[in-house]
Amino acid sequence: MWVRDRLDGLWHDEDFTAWYPRDGRPGLSPAQLATVSVLQFLLNLSDRQAAEAVRCRIDFKYALALELDDPGFHHSVLSDFRDRLAQEDRADRLLDLALQRLTAAGLVQQRGRQRTDSTHILAAARELTRLELVLEAVRAALEEIARTAPEVLDHLVTAEWGERYGRQVRMCSQPSHPVTRLTQAGTDARDLLTAVHTHAPWRETGRQVTVLRRILLQQFYVDARDRLRPRDEKVGLPPAGLRIESPYDTRFATSAATTRSGPATTPTSPRPATTGA
Residue 50 CA to residue 40 CA, distance in Å, equals: 6
Is the separation of the CB atoms in 247 and 208 below 8 Å?
Answer: yes
pLDDT of residue 199: 92
Residue 157 CB-half CA count within 13 A: 18
Q: What percent of the chain has pLDDT over 90?
A: 20
If we measure between CA atoms, which residue out of 101, 131, 133, 112 comes closest to residue 244?
133
Burial of 152 (0-12, 13-18, 19+ CB in 10 A): buried
Cα–Cα dist 210/137, whole Å: 10
Query: Which ranges of the chain would DSSP assign to H, the alpha helix?
Result: 2-7, 30-43, 47-56, 58-64, 76-85, 90-104, 118-124, 130-148, 159-165, 178-199, 207-219, 271-274
- Within a 10 A sphere around the Cβ of 242, how many other Cβ atoms? 18
What residues does 220 pair with on adjacent strands? Answer: 230
Contacts of 32 (CB under 8 A, 6+ apart): 64, 65, 66
Which residue has better confidence, 88 or 224?
Answer: 224
Per-residue model confidence as pLDDT tens digits over 56-107? 988 888 888 888 888 888 888 888 888 888 887 888 888 888 888 778 777 6
- Overall size of the chain counted in residues: 277
> Alpha-carbon distance 63 to 13, whole Å?
15
pTM reported for the whole predicted model: 0.49
Beta bridge partners of 230: 220
What's the pLDDT band for 19 if we cut at 50, 70, 90?
confident
Give the relative orientation of helices 30-43 and 47-56 as an angle to the nearest 10 degrees: 110
Q: Is the pLDDT of residue 4 over 70?
A: no
State the Cα–Cα distance between residues 159 and 162, nearest whole angstrom: 5
| Cβ density class 41-65: b for 16+ within 10 Å, e for less | eeeebebeebbebbeeeeebbebbe
Segment 209-228 mean pLDDT = 92
Task: Give the whole-angstrom CA distance, residue 53 versus residue 64.
Answer: 11
The Cα 151–Cα 116 span in angstroms is 45
Q: By the 8 A CB rule, do 182 and 230 touch?
A: yes
